[in-house]
Amino acid sequence: MAKQSGTTTEPRKIAGVPLNARTITVVVVTVLAVWFILMNTASVKLHLWGISTVSAPMWIVLLVMLLAGAGLGWVLRRYRDRASNAAR
């Protein structure tokens, strides 16, 4: 059967946000990360490369690591997109 020309399939949208695999993955990972952070509230000691030792609630440490990972992912994605656009 021949494919009809001019027909496009629009991705489903929820509240104006396109629903695709990336969006679903980000939402699931974010929900799991927040749940994990909220379950770990005890105080822990952090050894900062042998220079000093700091005591902090585990949820703060996990939140900082989550934000650092998200920031690093954002920077690397922008770098990759810029490099691929320059190659064109």
pTM > 0.75: no
pLDDT tens-digit readout, 66-79: 899 989 998 998 88
Give me the residue spans of the domains in the chain: 13-87
More confident residue, 88 or 71: 71
What is the Cα–Cα distance from 54 to 9, expressed in whole angstroms?
Answer: 54
Residue 17 dihedral angles phi and psi, to the nearest 5°: -100, 125
In DSSP terms, which residues pair with 17 in a beta bridge? 14
Residue 14: which residues within 8 A CB-CB, separation 6 or more? Answer: none
Say if residues 17 and 42 touch (Cβ distance below 8 Å): no
Say if residues 39 and 57 touch (Cβ distance below 8 Å): no
Share of the chain above pLDDT 70, in %: 90
